[in-house]
A = this chain, B = another copy of it.
């Protein structure tokens, strides 16, 4: 099976659709690499232009500023994540199995995924872990209609929440639990790599630690 996936990212996030040209795709691809390498604060359109063999002004044709570009990348990631969730739980009947699949996806490195993706999913993963806050926690998100910006994240949250509600219809906080699950998976990835004392990574087998922690958490909460 060989297929491509493409997502409709809100057109509020770009001036010209980067999917629509070679240069556009190049810009997003290189942006992901560059942000991964040097971090979002050091990342500038000037540096990106030099990596993409074009000029600063060309990038400004596609994105209003580097903030919007980050939001574009984050949106893409959450779309892809929801696609993976829906794909992998297909034909599963047991909602406990479905939840395990969700945790598996949230905690694993995405580099071994599919869909003939143009972007480096491992880098994407790391960017979402390290830079999400800088994209979402800004004053002018509200100007930008936060519904547009957060839609993919909201959709993923709703998907997971609905699985939770099937598994345990009496549980009162399916949405809050979904976001906690998503965010905790990222935090624990960041902490276990950079500040392991903030986790319990040493007590168990390292690679599975986060998965074990989250599964234990989730199924104790849901009974």
- A residues with a Cβ closer than 8 A to B are 38-39, 41-42, 130-134, 137-139, 141-142, 146, 150, 153-154, 157-158, 172-180, 183-184, 187-188, 190-191, 194-195, 197-200, 203-204, 212-213, 216-217, 220-221, 223
Q: Given the complex of chains A and B, what is the CA–CA distance between A188 and B178 in angstroms?
A: 11
Evaluate contact between A179 and B199: CB separation under 8 angstroms. yes
Whether B41 contacts A138 by the Cβ 8 Å rule is yes
Contact B154 A179 (CB under 8 A): no
Q: Which of A131, A134, A153 has the most CB of B within 10 A?
A: A134
Is there contact, CB below 8 Å, between A194 and B139? no
Specify which chain B residues have a CB less than 8 angstroms from the CB of A195 in the assembled complex.
146, 150, 154
9 A-B contact pairs sorted by A residue (CB < 8 Å):
A150-B198, A154-B195, A172-B213, A175-B198, A176-B184, A176-B198, A178-B198, A179-B199, A217-B217
Query: Which 8 A-B pairs give the minimum distances between C-beta atoms?
Result: A133-B133, A39-B139, A173-B200, A180-B184, A176-B199, A173-B213, A220-B221, A130-B137
Which B residues are in CB contact (< 8 Å) with A180? 180, 184, 187-188, 217
Contact indicator B157/A194 (Cβ below 8 Å): no
Would A173 and B130 be within 8 Å (CB), given that A154-B197, A183-B184, A195-B150 are in contact? no
Residues of B within 8 A of A213 (CB): 172-173, 176
Which residues of chain B are near A154, meaning CB under 8 Å? 195, 197-198
Q: Could you tell me the distance between the alpha carbons of A200 and B179 in the complex, rounded to whole angstroms?
A: 11
Bound-complex Cα distance A39 to B199 (A) = 30
Q: For A200, what are the chain B residues with a Cβ–Cβ distance below 8 Å? A: 172-176
